[in-house]
Amino acid sequence: MNVGEKILIGCKSAMGLAELVGSREDKNMEKKSIKQIYDEYDISPALQTHMYRVAAVGSIICRNFQETMETAEIISACLLHDMGNIIKFNFDVLPELVEPQGKDYWLGIQKNFKDRYGEDEHEATYAIAKEIGVTDRVCDIVRSIGFRKACERYKNDDLAEKICTYADERTGPFGVLSLKGRIREGHKRFLASGRKPTGDERTFQTLVSCLEGIEKQIFSHLAIKPADINDGSVNLEIENLKEFGIIIKSA
């Protein structure tokens, strides 16, 4: 069996892992499918696909980890980590984001999100996670994700936060990339959007170094390599995530 096969064969699926966690729920918890959540919040197909990819990267890492991981929490956080991102979308820079409903439709959804959650997409995502009723642990992981927080994640010992941050930084708008390729793509897209960076080039390079350090930290625990996480392995993993049950607090 080669390394690629090791990623995909002889392991519990993400759905199976969700069911395992579900068997340990107390009476104050229930599950809600991620598909239902995306539908309720009118999450665009492009953004859904991105979050599925990030979750698939996280799932593959968890399954190949030498230690027992918080797999359900990691997958849940990855599936929710960009729920408020429509707030920052520039539909002229990435016209693919408006398919299939069209630009006017998504501008309307964007306005609704801004009216309800404000102008900060990160705070909006956190507010939505709280609104959905996910566990405090998942909320904390969601809040930890972000390029600008890479050095915080590198320095702390929270493996779940490291994995989710790394998974997001391996995933671009159109697929899974190497870490360096994703950083190049993301930086170029950020500048094209007209948004102003919060730091100078030195700060940017420091964050890049921290992400590279996180990659080394994670893969020191794995029998696979970064290149084994690619569009092929991720696309197969996504099929296990379409009906993934997010654990939420009962009303």
Q: In this predicted model, what pLDDT tens digit does every residue of 169-203 receive, in sequence order?
A: 999 888 999 999 998 877 676 666 565 555 678 88
pLDDT (tens digit, 9 = 90+) per residue, 89-134? 988 877 888 888 899 999 999 999 999 999 999 999 999 999 999 9
H helix intervals, the chain: 3-8, 14-22, 34-40, 45-63, 71-80, 103-117, 121-132, 136-144, 150-155, 159-169, 179-192, 201-219, 231-238
Q: What is the CATH number of domain 15-249?
A: 1.10.3210
Percent of the chain whose pLDDT exceeds 70: 84
Per the CB < 8 A criterion, the answer to whether 8 and 239 are in contact is no
22: burial class by Cβ within 10 Å (0-12, 13-18, 19+)?
A: middle
Which amino acid is residue 249, in one-letter code? K
The pLDDT score that the predictor gives to residue 248 is: 93
Average of pLDDT values for 66-80? 96
> CB-based contacts of 78: which residues, under 8 Å, 6+ apart?
51, 54, 55, 57, 58, 164, 167, 168
Interatomic CA distance for residues 178 and 173, integer angstroms:
13
Residue 243, CA distances (Å) to 13, 45, 87, 92, 238 in order? 12, 15, 26, 32, 10
Q: Is the pLDDT of residue 3 over 90?
A: no
3-state DSSP assignment of residue 30: strand
Of 238, 220, 233, 240, the closest CA to residue 67 belongs to: 220
The pLDDT score that the predictor gives to residue 100 is: 85
pLDDT (tens digit, 9 = 90+) per residue, 205-237? 999 999 999 999 999 999 999 999 999 999 999
